[in-house]
Amino acid sequence: MATNFVDYVKIMVRSGRGGAGSAHLLRVKYNAKAGPDGGDGGRGGHVILQGSSQRWTLLHLKYTKHVFAENGQNGGENLCHGRNGRDEVLQVPLGCVCRDAETGEVIGEVTKEGEQLIVAQGGRGGLGNDHFKSATNQTPRYAQPGEDAVERWVVIELKVLADVGLVGFPNAGKSTLLSAVSAARPEIADYPFTTLVPNLGMVKYRDDQSFCMADIPGIIEGASEGKGLGLRFLRHIERNAVLLFMVSCEKLDVAKEYDVLLEELRRYNPDLLDKERILAVTKCDMLDDTMTEQLRQHLPLGVESVFISAVSGQGIQQLKDLIFRKINVSTETNG
């Protein structure tokens, strides 16, 4: 599965050129100067991204380096308009951002099923000479050429859409939690960077409600500077409503670990600090009540905390309640 997850592609796209208008002059048996009857040229085809909930990766575009839309047809006699060029529609997962590869400018985003984004607009067809006739110029012998095609390199990035994103160091128990509360089955092992790609899981809640949880590869100190795997996948938590920070109770200073994670997010994108946050202290089945109380006294301020164990189920329902409440707070704030 790891090799099948592609969240970044670079493609050269070219729209279709607009068809030229016709400069035809009508000739009939009884009227050799019947006037202009040139039709308009057809529009060139667009290159379009279209959102599809059936896609979850950009793998199908990985080896697509060039996408060319069809040119519009030229106009003809008898006011016949040229046919529009066929659009090239690329299906992409929901949550994709398209940028100009040279300038970095954001062309647009696709976040809804069926939503379309034109990344290369087809050239307009030229007007035929029929448009240029007048009382003083009854036989115009000219028509407009079609507009040129648009050619550019674009970058398509996938930012996973999820309600809550799991943020933590490698081996913090993120994948274990996701597998415990959802049907997702990420790879779990006792070594760093077991998770190499984001994993999504739907978490069932009370009264047949649910929310989506995303597990991204672990962050290490310096991830915002390109260390480890964190930087590449940090963009996947930009769309999450709630960030769930996970720190193992095995760590000597939970507050310090939390601050390091927070600082990496701040360096990557300061806007991430505006999101709702929760701190989950994991693997707490190893603690007794006395140790739990001692640890509670040294937790960071300004963030709600919960002690959990994905193995024993300790605190899981409390965590779900807290997440669901935070998601609704975030929805009301942004809504």
pLDDT at res. 333:
60
What percent of the chain is modeled with pLDDT above 70? 86
pLDDT at res. 49:
97
pLDDT at res. 193:
41
pLDDT at 225 over 70: no
b/e per residue 205-222 (b: at least 16 CB within 10 A):
beeeeebbbbbbbbbbee
> What is the average pLDDT across 142-155?
95
pTM over 0.85: no
Non-local CB neighbours of 246 within 8 Å, separated by 6+ positions? 166, 167, 168, 172, 173, 174, 177, 279, 280, 282
List strands edge to edge, sheet with 116-120: 88-93, 47-52, 116-120
CATH class of 164-334: alpha beta
Condensed to tens digits (0 to 9), the pLDDT of residues 284-309 reads: 887 788 888 888 888 888 889 999 88
Residue (of 152, 158, 89, 73) closest to 120 by Cα position: 152
pLDDT at res. 203:
84
Least reliable range by pLDDT among 222-226, 291-295, 331-335: 222-226
pLDDT at res. 266:
87
Same-fold call for 2-158 versus 164-334:
no
Residue 300 to residue 44: CA distance in whole angstroms? 59
pLDDT at res. 90:
96
Non-local CB neighbours of 127 within 8 Å, separated by 6+ positions? 21, 40, 41, 143, 144
pLDDT at res. 188:
45
pLDDT at res. 192:
42
Q: How confident is the model at residue 150 (pLDDT cuts 50, 70, 90)?
A: very high
In order of 18, 65, 67, 120, the CA distances from 71 in angstroms are 6, 19, 13, 13
Contact 10, 153 (CB under 8 A): yes
Condensed to tens digits (0 to 9), the pLDDT of residues 167-207 reads: 888 777 777 888 888 765 554 444 444 445 667 778 888 87
Q: Which of 60-69, 223-232, 284-293 has the highest mean pLDDT?
A: 60-69
Q: Tell me which of 158 and 20 has the higher pLDDT.
A: 20
Domain locations in the chain? Answer: 2-158, 164-334
Instruction: Identify any residues that bridge with 127 across adjacent strands, giving them in sequence order.
Output: none
Least reliable range by pLDDT among 4-18, 183-197, 236-250: 183-197
The pLDDT mean for the chain works out to 84
Give the pair of three-digit tokens for residue 84: 């529009």
pLDDT at res. 10:
95
Sort 192 into a burial class: Cβ within 10 Å, 0-12 / 13-18 / 19+: middle
Contact 38, 75 (CB under 8 A): yes
pLDDT at res. 2:
44
Q: Tell me which of 204 and 74 has the higher pLDDT.
A: 74
Give the pair of three-digit tokens for residue 300: 């960071």
Condensed to tens digits (0 to 9), the pLDDT of residues 102-142 reads: 999 999 999 999 999 999 999 999 999 999 998 888 889 89
pLDDT at 233 over 70: no
Domain 2-158 belongs in CATH node 2.70.210.12: yes
Question: Per this entry, what is the length of the chain?
Answer: 335
Give the pair of three-digit tokens for residue 258: 């939390």
Q: How confident is the model at residue 1 (pLDDT cuts 50, 70, 90)?
A: very low
